[in-house]
Amino acid sequence: SIVISSYYRRRARQATGTIPRTAEGPLAVALRLALSLPALAIIVAYLFAPDWLAWARLEIPEGIRVAAAIVAVGCPLLVYWVFTSIGSNISETVLLKATHQLVMHGPYRWVRHPLYAVALLMLLALSVMAANGLLLAVWVVGVASFRLVVIPREEANLIARFGTDYEQYRTRTGALLPWPGM
Q: How far is CA 28 from CA 21, 37, 137, 156, in A?
A: 8, 14, 20, 15
% of the chain surpassing 90 pLDDT: 83
Residue 31, pLDDT above cutoff 90? no
- Which pLDDT score is estimated for 139? 94
- Which pLDDT score is estimated for 169? 96
- Which pLDDT score is estimated for 117? 97
pLDDT tens figures, 128-154: 999 999 999 999 999 999 999 999 999
Helix H, strand E, coil C: the string for 89-121 is HCCCCCCCCCCCCCCCCHHHHCECCHHHHHHHH
pTM of the model: 0.92
What is the Cα–Cα distance from 90 to 94, expressed in whole angstroms? 10
- Which pLDDT score is estimated for 42? 92
Residue 73, pLDDT above cutoff 90? yes
- Which pLDDT score is estimated for 155? 97
